Amino acid sequence: MVALTIDGRKVEAGAGSTVLDAALAAGIEIPRLCHHPELTAWGGCRLCLVEVEGQQAPVPSCGLAAAAGMVVITHSEQLEAHRREVLDLLLSDHPLNCVICEKAGACDLQRYAYEFGLSESSHEKEIARKLYQDENAFLVRDHQYCILCTRCVRVCEEIVGASAIEVAQRGFEAFVATPFDAPLVETPCTFCGNCVQVCPTAALVPVDRIGKGREWDLTRTRTVCPYCGTGCGIEVATRGGEIVSVSGYGAPANGEFLCTKGRFGLGFVGHPDRLRRPLIRRDLAYSLGLIDTPPPAALGRSPLGRSPAAGETHVEVDWEIALDLVADRLAAVVKESGPDAFAGIGSALCTNEDNYIFQKLVRGVIGTNNVDLCARV
Amino acid sequence: MRSTVKVGTSTCGLATGAEATFRALQEAVSETGLAVSTQRTGCLGACHREPLVEIVVDGAHVLYGPVTADRARPLLEGHFTLHGAPPPPEDWVVSRTPDRRDYAFFAPQVKVTTANCGVIDPLSLEDYLAAGGYEGLRRALAMSPEAVVAAVTDGRLRGRGGAGYPTGLKWKICRSQPDPLKYLVCNADEGDPGAFMDRTLIEGDPHRVLEGMIIAAHGIGARWGYAYVRAEYPLAVKHLEAAIAQARDAGYLGTDILGSGLDFDVIVKEGAGAFVCGEETALMHSIEGRRGTPRMRPPYPAASGLWGHPTNINNVESYASVPSIMTGGAEWFSSLGTSESGGTKTFALAGAIQRTGLVEVPIGVSLRQVIFDVGGGIRDGHSFKAVQIGGPSGGCLPECLLDTPVDYGPLRATGAIMGSGGMVVVDDTTCMVDLARYFLSFTQDESCGKCIPCRIGTRKMLGILTKITRGEGDTADLDRLQQVAHTIHTTSLCGLGQTAPNPVLTTLRYFRDEYAAHIHDRHCPAGTCTALR
Amino acid sequence: MPSAASGTTARPRKTVYLGDPLAEPPPPELLAILERHRGRGDVLVTVLQQIQAQYGYLPERSVRYASRELGIPLARLYGVATFYNQFRFTPPGRIQLQVCCGTACHVGGAPAIVERLKAHLQIAENQTTPDGIFTLQTVFCVGCCSLAPVVIASGAAHGRMTPGGAESLVRDLGAAEEGRP
């Protein structure tokens, strides 16, 4: 631990932490756009500059290691003037469409423009980036909103390891590009969407949330991703009970980040085809006397024919009947062919407890070791 | 009788037809049957008289220029009075003394780093050795590394790239790092428009630069060196690579150099056309195969540079000064300059003056001496208006500041910087607003785009300046310029951005009346701005 | 294709595979460049320079090969190639004209030379004439400031240029080039 002074307050900082870390830990807010706690420091936005005693020019606090005895000032008239000017410059290169912007209420640039009272730029408006790319099913890249903080590039290289995107060109013409500006599907992109999550503006937006409401319309609920055994923490944003988007929130298993399934794969939750009640085959139901009409003979046999709807092939029954049926048939199989005729495969979508009970059932009740789980990777 | 005909065939010579001159001389020698050897050399610096030909007969020198190909034969015949030919016309003669001091251009100069340029064949190791080459390395290897670093510190050598950081201190910090693998980089990415010192040095005397690097490697304990040469300098790359090959064969590079146990080798990397790569962290990114964007410092390269290892980066001229410190001694070297910085500084003198070229003067002489004594003042009857020093990072200084000594501190006090050595003199036909606009268009074009103030700020400054040169400016624009300039200067990530406003701030400070004329009178005093004619 | 020795039989793919655009090995001249640089950390820019020296520009396919063979993400190659002025993705003209716009050349009249050449060749900067002979570029300082203004044609520097001089230089070069394949 090192002790330093920030804005006149004695602050303790852990080994290896930056001045920004130390300030944030002490509840001192410093404006920043390119900084992300999980990514290497970039130092491009110049908003987190602070004054350090003994140094002539302001220093970016995101890249400055906290040192014992350091005396730091995070807010001064000078610093605020520079921050204001930098934001003023940035706003000249950014559409101020906040009233119709998906990111309104969750946009870092909007927040700082509000804090500094900038309704528009005092400079000539000129937006260098024109590309609008929506060629994939997951995310839209609207380059005019990009502020080139490169969080997306860094997350793709450092966290995901895909390196699907990189800054291309330079200076005022620079933009975040795929190789040869190809569609994302032709790159190593896995559509994990972590770039979308770290984007501070509306440059990267999930397709599914467009037009579904803004930050203040959404209810955020933290839960665990249902997909695999990793148990990533996810934060589900809903509006009127409908899932709008999913993001990570800094959970123990996964930190802030998710894979494509957790982020973009929860569409089944509200899907009309989702199974909600047990179904049994019509022929079985007929033989058990649960329905009066036999099923049509040739239904669903031809690979060229339409696939039948669930209601045509199956009937809904209540849990009692379904479980009894399964128990009877299972017992019959075991009795006839021995317990090893049975094998069970658990699902990663179930909880640990459910899977434990399941293997207990297979081993202890049925009496075989033929049990496995798809999440044992 | 031993006679040599030397032709300066650096890039600058070649641009005026030195190659044709050289061939014509070779032809003339073989046709006339003269017992004369012909030799290519680097650049003597007197570019205004190129192509330059020097004829040395038994130690008697005569320097001629310009010698175009058609003058080659009459020159030879005249000089050696063949077939009763008349001597070459007097206005072909530049100088007649071995040290050329009878010519005003050379008289005030003190040639240390450029001593061999234009004198020896740059592709000949023998020539370099005959001129005392690698003697500095021998002496350095006989000293302890600490003593080498101490000598550079005592010589008060400061970074010739422009920032003027004490070289000895830099070496000491790098040397003190515990990491056993250290790198060394020679920054030859001379990007300032109006600067060609490094090009001339490498083209004319590549071994000297190499020797400086090897001495530095000994002092620091570096194992590998990179020479990062600007892409626009193909001849410099060729000469440096040839010199490296020769040095390897002769045991000056490789393992156990000269039996001292020092292992060191140099790899040449060509730049790919990005001014910002002159910034040390951007340069390292470029070597590492990354986009040439700078990164935050600290950590400084001396602690964590190439691939995270301690790396020492110096400019070409800094390295080229080192052999002389070893041979001449730290005391002699520091006595050449001022109490703050020792040695000499080369300048690329260009623009509206009589004598342009590469000049080397002791640190501390005044701008006036460089421009008027060496450069011979303004040409074509025009009058001096300003000297632009330090390229896009520097500033424009008016007549009243001409007595400023060329030294890091005093120049910074004027708002300009020492810079790498570009010195462009402009006369009354140049518009200062247009010149400021020109430099901003350069930095705007070369900004890497990483930090906001430089990426967008330079663009906005350029926009305002363009507006003014079109006669569409108003008074508020000047305040706006100053305000944005202040933020760019203070908050930019690297030197490119931090110094980008300098040309504008210095012209605003010293030539505000020209801005006023554009804004209030819709008039360009120099007549440069076409929209206001 | 699995070799006969491996003893496995090829299983038909589930989906129709249109083929890897880089299924063929790189052409020999490109392979030679890539082989020289395999496994080194400091070669990315150099590889691109040598590819460009080979073809006159960076063909997209060869950059893709470089990415695959050297294990460098394609995005990084693309980012680097677009960062530096030197690299281009389209073939240049047979003669590359570079007008130096360094400080000395600028104050010496380089802008007028650029304008004259643009008008004469009827192309903009960084464009190539329709006949494929000239590419016009501006560069910041070639280090010949004493001879300003300077025009470089196919690597040869021509000092103390004027708009008229530059135009006749281009005329001469163009006349010499015409009729060649």
Q: Can you name the residues that pair with A205 across neighbouring β-strands?
A: A140
CATH 1.20.58.1910 fits B432-532, yes or no: no
C-alpha to C-alpha distance for B61 and B64, rounded to whole angstroms: 10
C-alpha to C-alpha distance for A202 and A101, rounded to whole angstroms: 7
Whether A187 has its CB under 8 Å from any CB of chain C: the answer is yes
Whether C78 has its CB under 8 Å from any CB of chain A: the answer is yes
Q: Is pLDDT at A37 greater than 90 in this prediction?
A: yes
Homologous superfamily of B3-95: Glutaredoxin (3.40.30.10)
Question: Is the N-terminal amide bond of C149 cis, ω within 30° of 0?
Answer: yes
Mutating which of B198, B293, B382, B442 best tests the C interface, going by the most C Cβ atoms within 10 A?
B442
Residue-wise pLDDT for A125-160, tens only, equals 999 999 999 999 999 999 999 999 999 999 999 999
Query: Which 89-118 residues of chain C touch chain A by CB within 8 A?
Result: 89
* pLDDT computed for residue C14 by the predictor: 47
Q: Is pLDDT at C5 greater than 50 in this prediction?
A: no
Nearest chain B residue to A50, by CA? B491
* pLDDT computed for residue A297 by the predictor: 65
Query: A219-272, which class in CATH?
Result: mainly beta
Nearest chain A residue to C64, by CA? A179
Q: Is pLDDT at C7 greater than 50 in this prediction?
A: no
Q: Where are the domains of chain C?
A: 21-83, 95-177
C-alpha to C-alpha distance for B467 and B478, rounded to whole angstroms: 11
* pLDDT computed for residue A107 by the predictor: 97
* pLDDT bucket at B260, cuts 50 / 70 / 90: very high
Cβ contacts (< 8 Å) between A85 and chain B: which residues?
Answer: 453, 483-484, 487
Mean predicted lDDT score pLDDT of chain C: 87
- In the Cβ-directed half-sphere of C103, how many Cα atoms lie within 13 Å? 35
Candidates B15, B273, B430; nearest CB to C144: B15
CB-based burial label for B53 (10 Å; 0-12, 13-18, 19+): buried
Whether C140 has its CB under 8 Å from any CB of chain B: the answer is yes
For the segment(s) B125-336, the CATH number from 3.10.450.30, 3.40.50.410, 3.30.70.580, 3.40.50.11540 is 3.40.50.11540
Q: Is pLDDT at B80 greater than 60 in this prediction?
A: yes
**Nearest CA-CA distance, residue B294 and chain A, Å:** 10
* pLDDT computed for residue C8 by the predictor: 43
- CA Rg value for chain B: 24
Fold topology of A2-75: Ubiquitin-like (UB roll) (3.10.20)
* pLDDT bucket at C13, cuts 50 / 70 / 90: very low
* pLDDT computed for residue B205 by the predictor: 97
Asked whether the beta carbons of residue B493 and residue A46 sit closer than 8 angstroms, the reply is yes
Give the CATH number of domain B344-427: 3.10.20.600
Residue-wise pLDDT for B214-227, tens only, equals 999 999 999 999 99
Asked whether the beta carbons of residue C60 and residue A180 sit closer than 8 angstroms, the reply is yes
**Nearest CA-CA distance, residue B495 and chain A, Å:** 12
Whether B60 has its CB under 8 Å from any CB of chain C: the answer is no
* pLDDT computed for residue A367 by the predictor: 95
Neighboring chains of B (3 or more beta-carbon pairs < 8 A): A, C
Nearest chain C residue to B16, by CA? C159
Q: Is pLDDT at C10 greater than 60 in this prediction?
A: no
Q: Is pLDDT at C39 greater than 90 in this prediction?
A: no
Asked whether the beta carbons of residue A166 and residue C78 sit closer than 8 angstroms, the reply is yes
* pLDDT bucket at B1, cuts 50 / 70 / 90: low
Mean predicted lDDT score pLDDT of chain B: 95
C-alpha to C-alpha distance for A259 and B166, rounded to whole angstroms: 51
* pLDDT bucket at A342, cuts 50 / 70 / 90: very high
Phi, psi values for residue A296, rounded to 5°? -60, 140
**Nearest CA-CA distance, residue B447 and chain A, Å:** 5
Percent of chain B clearing pLDDT 70 (strictly above) = 100
Asked if B445 and B458 count as a contact pair (C-beta separation under 8 A), the reply is: no
Asked whether the beta carbons of residue C79 and residue A164 sit closer than 8 angstroms, the reply is no
Single out the residue of B116, B6, B8 nearest to residue B57, CA to CA. Answer: B6
Cβ contacts (< 8 Å) between A177 and chain C: which residues?
Answer: 75, 78-79, 82
Residue-wise pLDDT for B333-358, tens only, equals 999 999 999 999 999 999 999 999 99
Phi, psi values for residue B379, rounded to 5°? -100, 165
* pLDDT computed for residue A283 by the predictor: 87
Task: Tell me what the mean pLDDT of segment A159-177 comes to.
Answer: 97
* pLDDT computed for residue C40 by the predictor: 87
| Torsion angle in degrees (nearest 10) through CA of B26, B28, B32, B36 | -40
Task: Tell me what the mean pLDDT of segment C76-99 comes to.
Answer: 95
Asked whether the beta carbons of residue A126 and residue B459 sit closer than 8 angstroms, the reply is yes
Q: Is pLDDT at A377 greater than 70 in this prediction?
A: no
Task: Tell me what the mean pLDDT of segment B265-293 comes to.
Answer: 96
Query: Which 440-499 residues of chain B touch chain C by CB within 8 A?
Result: 442, 445-446, 448
Spatial neighbors of A248 by CB under 8 A, at least 6 apart, are: A194, A197, A232, A233, A234, A235, A254, A255, A256, A257, A258, A262
Comparing A23-27, A303-307, C143-147, which segment has the lowest mean pLDDT?
A303-307
Single out the residue of B124, B398, B421 nearest to residue B245, CA to CA. Answer: B124
C-alpha to C-alpha distance for B316 and B201, rounded to whole angstroms: 8
* pLDDT computed for residue A310 by the predictor: 67
Question: B391 versus A30: which is more confidently predicted?
Answer: A30
Which segments of B35-186 does DSSP mark as H helices, in order?
69-79, 125-130, 135-142, 145-154, 167-175
Cβ contacts (< 8 Å) between C61 and chain A: which residues?
Answer: none
Q: Is pLDDT at A295 greater than 70 in this prediction?
A: yes
Task: Tell me what the mean pLDDT of segment B487-496 comes to.
Answer: 96
Q: Is pLDDT at B65 greater than 60 in this prediction?
A: yes
* pLDDT bucket at A349, cuts 50 / 70 / 90: confident
Crossing angle of the two packed helices B502-510 and B512-520, in degrees rounded to 10: 80
Candidates C75, C82, C89; nearest CB to A164: C75
Q: Where are the domains of chain B?
A: 3-95, 125-336, 344-427, 432-532
* pLDDT computed for residue A300 by the predictor: 52
Homologous superfamily of C95-177: Glutaredoxin (3.40.30.10)
Q: Is pLDDT at C181 greater than 70 in this prediction?
A: no
- In the Cβ-directed half-sphere of B187, how many Cα atoms lie within 13 Å? 26
Single out the residue of A312, A313, A39, A25 nearest to residue A149, CA to CA. Answer: A39
Nearest chain C residue to B357, by CA? C146
* pLDDT computed for residue C147 by the predictor: 83
Nearest chain B residue to A172, by CA? B455
Question: C3 versus B468: which is more confidently predicted?
Answer: B468
Neighboring chains of A (3 or more beta-carbon pairs < 8 A): B, C
Mutating which of C20, C22, C74 best tests the A interface, going by the most A Cβ atoms within 10 A?
C74
* pLDDT computed for residue B433 by the predictor: 97
Task: Tell me what the mean pLDDT of segment B428-454 comes to.
Answer: 96
Residue-wise pLDDT for B5-31, tens only, equals 999 999 889 988 999 999 999 999 999
Residue-wise pLDDT for A48-104, tens only, equals 999 999 999 999 999 999 999 999 999 999 999 999 999 999 999 999 999 999 999
Return the structure tokens found at B406.
């060329």
* pLDDT computed for residue A302 by the predictor: 58
Mutating which of A157, A180, A187, A195 best tests the C interface, going by the most C Cβ atoms within 10 A?
A180
Query: Which 66-125 residues of chain C touch chain B by CB within 8 A?
Result: 72, 76, 79-80, 83-87, 101-108
Nearest chain C residue to A167, by CA? C79
Whether A63 has its CB under 8 Å from any CB of chain B: the answer is yes
Kindly report the pTM of this predicted structure: 0.92
Q: Is pLDDT at C12 greater than 90 in this prediction?
A: no
Mean predicted lDDT score pLDDT of chain A: 93
Q: Where are the domains of chain A?
A: 2-75, 219-272, 275-336, 338-377
Asked whether the beta carbons of residue B451 and residue A43 sit closer than 8 angstroms, the reply is yes
Cβ contacts (< 8 Å) between C76 and chain A: which residues?
Answer: 163, 166
Task: Tell me what the mean pLDDT of segment C138-145 comes to.
Answer: 82
Q: Is pLDDT at B242 greater than 80 in this prediction?
A: yes
Whether B513 has its CB under 8 Å from any CB of chain A: the answer is no
- In the Cβ-directed half-sphere of B427, how many Cα atoms lie within 13 Å? 15
Task: Tell me what the mean pLDDT of segment A273-291 comes to.
Answer: 89
C-alpha to C-alpha distance for B273 and B189, rounded to whole angstroms: 9
C-alpha to C-alpha distance for A324 and A318, rounded to whole angstroms: 10
Asked whether the beta carbons of residue B449 and residue A171 sit closer than 8 angstroms, the reply is yes
Q: Is pLDDT at B128 greater than 60 in this prediction?
A: yes
Asked whether the beta carbons of residue C75 and residue A169 sit closer than 8 angstroms, the reply is no
Asked whether the beta carbons of residue A165 and residue C75 sit closer than 8 angstroms, the reply is yes
Task: Tell me what the mean pLDDT of segment A7-23 comes to.
Answer: 95
* pLDDT computed for residue A2 by the predictor: 94
* pLDDT computed for residue A231 by the predictor: 86
Q: Is residue B326 classed as helix, strand or coil in its secondary structure?
A: helix
